[in-house]
Structure 1
Amino acid sequence: MTVDRAVLAFAGVMVLISVLLTTFVSPLFIWFTVFIGLNMFQSAFTGLCPAAMVFRKLGLKGDCATNP
C-alpha cells in the first residue's frame, strides 16, 4: 500500500467514525468532521499532510508517481 492510498483510507475511516459519533453520541462531534474536511482542504493546497508524514515514518512506500 502506498502513502497516498493509506491517507485516503484513513481519511475515509475517520469521516465514517465522526459521522457515527455525531449520530449516536453527540451532535457536537460534527466539529470532528469539519476538522477532517479542513485538514484535507489545506493539504490539497499546501501539500502538508500530518497523516502522510506518520505513514512514511511507519515505512509505507511513497506515492504512486514515484513508486509504481
Structure 2
Amino acid sequence: MKINDALRLIAGIMLIISLLLTHFVHPNWVFFTLFIALNLLQSAFTKWCPMITILRKFGLED
C-alpha cells in the first residue's frame, strides 16, 4: 500500500468513527470531525500532513 492510499483510508476511517461517536455517544464528538476536516484543509494548502510523517516512519512508500 502506498502512502496516499493509506492516508485516504485512515482519514475515511477516522471520519466514520467520529460521526458514529457523535451519533451514538455525545454530540460534542462533532468537534473531532471538525478537527479532521481542518487538518485535511491545512494539508491541502501547506502540502504537509502529520499522518504522512508517521506513515513514512512506518516505512510506507511514496
State TM-score, norm by structure 1: 0.90
Other structure's SS at 1:10 match:
helix
Equivalent in the alignment of 1:66: none
Large movers: runs of 4+ above 4 Å: none
Distance in structure 1 (CA, Å) of the matches to 2:45 and 2:5: 18
Taking only aligned residues, the RMSD between alpha carbons, in angstroms, comes to 0.4
Q: Could you list the per-position Cα deviations for residues 19-43 of structure 1 after superposition, in whole angstroms to 9, with x for gaps in the alignment?
A: 0000000000000000000000000
Structure 1 unaligned regions, length at least 5: 63-68
- The answer to whether the aligner puts 1:13 opposite 2:13 as a matched pair is yes
Q: 2:42 aligned with 1:38, yes or no?
A: no
Aligned-pair distance for 1:56?
A: 0.5
1 CA distance for matches of 2:47 and 2:57?
Answer: 17
Residue in 2 that maps onto 1:28: 28
Greater Cα radius of gyration, structure 1 or 2:
1
Q: Which amino acid aligns with 2:49?
A: C
Percent identity between matched residues is 48
Residue type of the partner of 1:41? L
The residue aligned with 1:52 is 52
State the AA in 2 paired with 1:59. G
Count of residues in Structure 1 that have an aligned counterpart in Structure 2? 62
